[in-house]
Chain A
Amino acid sequence: MAKQNIDLNVNGFTYRVAVEPWRSLAEVLREELGLTGTKVGCNQGDCGACTVLIDGRAVSSCLTLAVEAHQRQITTIEGLAASPDQLHPIQQAFIDHGAVQCGFCTAGMILSAKALLDQNPDPSEEEIRQGIAGNLCRCTGYVKIVEAISAAAQTLRGPREER
């Protein structure tokens, strides 16, 4: 069956790619666009490693058909920072708080955190835990991840709101 031409708008760049309709967005990001920051863990929507943002909402790219993402705005971990030599405050907070161990869940975890903080700039610990409920980490026990997201939230809100 024929490939379909689609426009994937990823991190502000538009890529015209020809894809088979049954391929997942995660596969196309990794294999066609070389954006391997997006990880595939369970490949069934349980683990959250493949989380990307589509039109600002966190979704599982392993369950999203690439053709369904045609002309949508996609953000992957590669596009989070303002420029290639910088880190986004959430990324920096993960480093500062030791929230990365093996690293496999990190990209998805940070994108879920980004979606959460965009909607709720001052989440409680419970709200942070709910926000990352779809992202499994088998190393950290989550405590440092929650601390990192809380610290990033504070950084993103700016110094005036520090108490």
Chain B
Amino acid sequence: MAMPHFEHHQPTSLEEALDILTRHGAEAKLMGGGTDLVMKMRAGALEPRHVVGLGRVAGLNRISYRDDDGLVIGGSTRISEVAAHPEVRRHYPALAHACSVMATPQIRNMGTVAGNLANAAPSADTAAPLLACRASVVLVERGGRRQVKLTDFFKGPGLTDLEPGEILEAIRVPAPPNRCGSAYQRLSERSQVDIAAVGVAGFVALDLAGAIIGVRLALSAVAPTPVRCPEAEAILEGQIPTPELLRRASAACVRASRPIDDLRASANYRRSMVQVLSLRVLEQCLALAKGEASPPA
């Protein structure tokens, strides 16, 4: 299939990018690394008349972390840059891990975290860890900005809350409290390169007595969008973790999934693996929160 013919724009400021978007409306598509968009255009699934590359927009490629303000990942920041960032590795091990094992080195050097979210694949590897860490996205348009919780951002496979004329300017993640841990586990049949068949991310914080005072679990590739697991979270919240409690919570994660059969895995296999990976993720989170393990080097 031949590529559609389009005009290509490389704005150097956010204002210029928003002007181009506003001028061309639904005929324009934003491009981060292009790893999803070029494939969709080549397959004939998208035929934009205008492609707006965000790679040269000033200020959009950044990572910053502050203890009071948390993490900010810019809209054109590459996946490999997030994976390598020391503060991300220290404070958000689930996200760092997802960004270092997804896809291939080449794709991680091209693709952006914002693009991974905006593309809204049910299997998006950065989505589950960001959901578990209570991330929000900052959407900017010519008239202003709004911040949307990631839990409200995904609307369906390939569908998000992003309006035409809006750019995903940044991802914001709150700073983690003391005594917490986060983890991400994914399965795919053919090594890490393949799209995930199941992904589970978790976050757990403990109080001084060892009770859970903050817990979030999120799944990818097992529902039309990446999803949180409220029932499992409610089972764990306020409790002292025991093997039995973790087993009940991981069983509840299965009930949050709505998997399908496809070429990567059967729905039944996915359900079984949600339970297995949820348990492992919770154990990893607890080990980190108790200081029994350190984030992977």
Contact = CB atoms under 8 A, between A and B. Distances in A.
Interface residues of A, number: 31
Interface string B192-226: 11000000000000000000000000000000000
A59 B110 contact: yes
Contact of A112 (B4, B7, B105): B105
A39 B236 CA distance: 52
A22 B4 contact: yes
A97 interface: no
B42 A44 contact: yes
A63 B109 contact: no
Contact of B191 (A21, A23, A133): A133
B111 to A, nearest CB: 9
A1 B6 contact: yes
Interface stretch (A29-37, A65-73, A146-154): A65-73
A58 B107 CA distance: 9
B5 A63 contact: no
Contacts of B293: none
B3 interface: yes
B53 A45 contact: no
A77 B106 CA distance: 16
Interface residues of B, number: 29
Contact of A45 (B7, B35, B41): B35
Interface in B46-66: 51, 53, 55
A59 B55 CA distance: 14
A4 B105 contact: no
Interface in B17-39: 31, 33-35, 38-39
A129 B32 CA distance: 27
A43 B51 CA distance: 20
B34 A48 contact: no
B119 interface: no
Interface in A49-76: 51, 57-60, 63-65, 67-68, 70
6 contacts: A1-B7, A21-B51, A58-B105, A63-B110, A64-B38, A68-B34
Closest 4 CB pairs of A and B: A134-B104, A21-B8, A22-B3, A57-B109
